[in-house]
């Protein structure tokens, strides 16, 4: 029996939502995790970086498999592995055990986004831009809700219990995708599919693939590094906000992604993806420049975080470029490569930011001297420069996007 396209997408989307809640919980509880496990700033960046690198590498493999084996088996098995890794992390007593748990989580959760994108492409091809943006928006609403909830419920001050609850939710996700996600595409869709080597050649020969890779890494990869770890650390360590205040402020980013994602998707469906890609990433660049040079009030900073989220929502335009320019048999592979590259990039940036903000404050630091006399703000600026440089690369890449050729 042919699977229902909405139920298939919804089951994968629920798994995707829970995977993002793990990232948000890690960001909110990062100080508590560091205190409980006796970690330094660099250790915390390593812990987060290992998760994203294992996530990225596994995502490439699973992104290729997901169109060749029943999708419910891939998503169900990785949901169970996510449950095991989340539970192991909640029981860890030091850096080594925590790294093992985070690596297991990285492998397990690596199927979530490519799974959703694959099912959107399979079931909603004509509305890919909007449905992919909607998928991203829904998870960001959930992320914002968790961040705001953490400001009012003290249970979220202990890092072990929330991760144990999430482990149970991943078991529920496994049951849903096993039952609803469906299997392989119809034989008619796979009979004429070229070998993987042919798809790979088509991908790397496309200039739009390389533009999408740089663009998506500079937007989504930077979003991972900023919203899922360093923004909360910045607010607490350099602006003296409590974990609750920092979590609420950080929630403005996923709320912005939600609003901006729907706008970007609708704009792209109507007018094409090129201009939304450029406008949204330029918005992020302007906002990061403001954060770099001005110590803002809490209210103003929250508004800037919302605009940053709106800008980052344009990251899905990079995936839309792949759908528009690559042949249908090569688009899933191109998507896996781009998303994998972005996650590896995000994982590599996080330890670099950690090393920048963890380095001893230097007297007469050039950045602090030029922008402000506050040495804490200068340290914050050193970390933020890595993120700004990443976004600038995405801005450049956006001007290499081209509208697709007219199709019958």
pLDDT digits (tens, 9 = 90+) for 113-132: 888 888 887 877 777 778 88
Predicted confidence (pLDDT) at residue 373 exceeds the cutoff of 80 = no
What architecture (CATH level 2) is domain 5-183+195-398? Up-down Bundle (1.20)
Residue 331 has pLDDT above 60, yes or no: yes
Q: Over 50: is that where the pLDDT of 407 sits?
A: no
Q: Give the rounded distance of the alpha carbon of 250 from its chain centre.
A: 14
- Is the sign of the CA dihedral 138, 143, 147, 152 positive or negative? positive
More confident site: 338 or 379: 338
At 278, the pLDDT band (50, 70, 90 cuts) reads: very high
**Confidence class for position 308, pLDDT limits 50, 70, 90:** very high
pLDDT higher than threshold 80 for residue 49: no
- pTM here is 0.74
Q: What is the mean pLDDT of residues 10-26?
A: 89
Q: Please give the Cα distance from 57 to 341 (Å, whole number).
A: 9
Whether the pLDDT of residue 165 is over 70: the answer is: yes
- Rg (the chain; Cα; Å): 20
Contact 184, 74 (CB under 8 A): no
User: What pLDDT is stored for residue 185 in this prediction?
Assistant: 58
Query: What's the sign of the alpha-carbon dihedral 48, 54, 60, 62?
Result: negative
**E-assigned strands of 223-381?**
none
Mean pLDDT of the region 167-193? 76
Euclidean distance between CA atoms 119 and 261, whole angstroms: 18
Q: What angle do CA 59, 60, 64 make, to 5 degrees?
A: 110
Residue 388, pLDDT above cutoff 60: yes
User: What pLDDT score does 252 carry?
Assistant: 85
- Residue 377 binned pLDDT confidence (cut-offs 50, 70, 90): confident
Question: Nearest-5° angle of CA 293, CA 295, CA 297?
Answer: 140
Q: What is the mean pLDDT of residues 139-151?
A: 75
State residue 128's pLDDT score.
79
Give me the pLDDT at residue 1, please: 47
Q: Where are the alpha helices (DSSP H) in 92-218?
A: 95-109, 111-123, 128-149, 160-180, 187-190, 196-204, 207-216
Per residue in 199-249, pLDDT (tens digit) is 899 999 999 999 999 999 999 888 887 876 666 667 766 676 766 677 777
Q: In the structure encoding, which two tokens stand for residue 169, read together? A: 């939710």
* Tens-digit pLDDT profile for residues 55-103: 888 988 888 888 778 888 999 999 999 999 999 999 998 889 999 999 9
pLDDT in the model for residue 119: 87
What's the confidence (pLDDT) of residue 291?
Answer: 84
pLDDT band at 44 (very low <50, low <70, confident <90, very high): confident
Of residues 105 and 376, more confidence is placed in 105
Q: What percent of the chain has pLDDT over 90?
A: 30
Task: Kindly tell me if the per-residue pLDDT of 188 is higher than 50.
Answer: no
Indicate whether 156 pLDDT > 60.
Answer: no
Q: What is the DSSP letter of 221?
A: I
Return the pLDDT at 253.
85
Which one, of 300, 298, 306, lies nearest residue 240 by Cα? 298
């Amino acid at each position: 029996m042919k699977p229902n396209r909405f139920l298939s997408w919804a089951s994968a989307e629920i798994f995707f939502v829970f995977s993002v809640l793990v990232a948000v919980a890690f960001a909110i509880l990062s100080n508590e995790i560091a205190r409980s496990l006796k970690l330094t700033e660099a250790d915390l960046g390593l812990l987060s970086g290992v998760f994203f690198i294992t996530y990225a590498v596994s995502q490439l493999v699973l992104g290729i498999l997901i169109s060749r084996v029943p999708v419910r088996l891939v998503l169900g098995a990785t949901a169970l592995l996510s449950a095991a890794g989340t539970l192991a992390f909640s029981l860890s007593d030091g850096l080594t055990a925590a790294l093992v748990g985070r690596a297991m989580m990285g492998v397990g959760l690596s199927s979530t986004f490519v799974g959703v994108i694959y099912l959107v492409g399979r079931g909603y091809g004509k509305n890919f831009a909007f449905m992919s943006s909607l998928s991203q928006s829904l998870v960001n609403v959930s992320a914002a809700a968790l961040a705001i909830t953490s400001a009012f419920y003290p249970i979220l001050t202990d890092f072990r219990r929330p991760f144990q609850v999430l482990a149970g939710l991943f078991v529920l996700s496994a049951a849903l995708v096993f039952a609803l996600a469906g299997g392989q595409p119809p034989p008619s869709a796979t009979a004429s599919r070229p070998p993987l080597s042919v798809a790979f050649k088509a991908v790397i020969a496309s200039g739009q693939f390389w533009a999408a890779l740089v663009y998506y890494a500079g937007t989504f990869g930077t979003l991972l590094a900023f919203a899922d770890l360093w923004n909360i650390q910045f607010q607490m360590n350099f602006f003296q906000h409590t974990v609750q205040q920092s979590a609420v402020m950080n929630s403005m980013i996923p709320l912005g992604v939600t609003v901006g994602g729907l706008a970007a998707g609708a704009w792209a469906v109507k007018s094409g993806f090129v201009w939304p890609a450029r406008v949204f990433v330029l918005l992020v660049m302007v906002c990061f420049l403001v954060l770099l040079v001005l110590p803002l009030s809490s209210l103003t900073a929250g508004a800037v975080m919302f605009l940053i989220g709106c800008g980052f929502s344009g990251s899905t335009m990079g995936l839309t470029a792949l759908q528009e320019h690559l042949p249908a048999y090569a688009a899933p592979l191109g998507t896996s490569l781009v998303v994998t590259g972005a996650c590896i990039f995000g994982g590599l940036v996080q330890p670099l930011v950690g090393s920048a903000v963890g380095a001893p404050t230097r007297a007469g630091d050039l950045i602090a001297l030029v922008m402000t006399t506050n040495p804490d703000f200068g340290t914050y600026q050193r970390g933020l420069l890595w993120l700004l440089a990443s976004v600038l690369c995405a801005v450049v890449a956006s001007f290499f996007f081209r509208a697709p050729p007219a199709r019958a």
